Structure 1
Amino acid sequence: MKERNIHTYEEAVRLIHEVGILPLAPLIPDHPSLYQITPGESWLTGTDLDPWMWRARFPSDGTAAYGKLLKKKSVLISSELFPFVKAILGNPQPVEDRYKLGLVSKAALELFRQIKEEEGIETRSLRFKTGMNAKEMKKTFGQGLLELQDTLDIVISGVKESRILLDEKSAWQSTSFETAHHWMESVGLHESDIDLKIARKELQTRLKNSCSPDAMKFFTKLFQFEA
């Protein structure tokens, strides 16, 4: 893997456009991750040089979609590649129809409906409004969110202050979610029916130009590229 040293947000943006898919932590063989290419001492500092803070900026400015989108791990997918990845890994059927067919859990359906109704809703509010705020529902809530991210129905839209059921002096940063369709529209990407073969061919070509052979083996298996 080519040695890279990223110190600023602008450098990270350029890298995402270059490699297309950037995990937060090591995931893909011989392929960079945000953690590997940034100084460890910069993380969780709350400054402009904190990569943990950047994760909320990437989706906000349209650089990349963010969420646990590949193998249930947190990754950034560039806006250029996201439509192709969604066409391959997503499901064109509406979530409601998939639920009727037994392909989507009830929890995931309820979460999707609430997120669609309130795009950008933060975690605590989402748990409260879907009736999953009880301790025993924490696992169900988490699995429902993973399910929807795995099929690229939702993405993490950033972080915002949460004050639900608290006074104005009590607030904390909380992850927020929106539908993938809403995020795409907000950054100028128009969701359309992309032929699966064309999506695979286009994604394979673009990744091949920037990825190592070992990384391409990983992507070939994941996206079922033709050898």
Structure 2
Amino acid sequence: MSSLPLDQEASRTSVSSTADLVVNGLRKAILHNELRGGERLRQDAIANQYGVSQMIVREAFKQLAAEGFLKAEPRRGVSVALLSADEAWEVTQLRAILECQALQWAIPNMLRSDFLQCTRILDELDRSDTVDAKIVLNAQFHTSLYAPSRRERTLDLIENLRMNFERYLRYTWEETHHLEQSQAEHRTILNLCEMRDVERASDALRKHILATGDLLVDSLRHLVR
């Protein structure tokens, strides 16, 4: 139970809720390249844009910096984080470790309904015609695969990495046309899960994550040359 007086508790909740609106708006703008890597964000300008206090904007900036969308530097302020080949490599390695472990925990708990749900998502992904829809459905597929693990702390870590990696995944699918190969790998992973082949399913997932990451890292390194 909170030790804060009710009015202070309500005020803190209100600040957090309003900050979330700013966070979601800025994150969406960054993901859609409306705010570009390296672009500086002024606290007062963002406050005026959203009609909130600068304190609210500071909270939003802190959260987006923690997620990897913004970069805060002493005496230089806050800017949109640049896409980095090194960061993409690091996040890819972390994803491979955490997501493969989650899948290993999940497979023994999977039910027929889980397999049907994953198949429906992949079928819808095949039919999707926008990058936004593909990103959402891809996330739903992976979330549905790992959910039966029932390891909430691990799933929260995976979600945080996924959110940070979305900028990179969007770049990969927009610039390299990687989706067709990704879908074939998704179906292979799902088939191995249905066979309860934990080792091969985990290995297929690891290769899937690393292949996507390698493609992205290579593209980014060529971009900055």
- TM beyond 0.5: no
TM-score, length-scaled by structure 2? 0.28
Question: Which structure carries more strand by proportion?
Answer: 1
- Relative to the length of structure 1, the TM-score reads 0.28
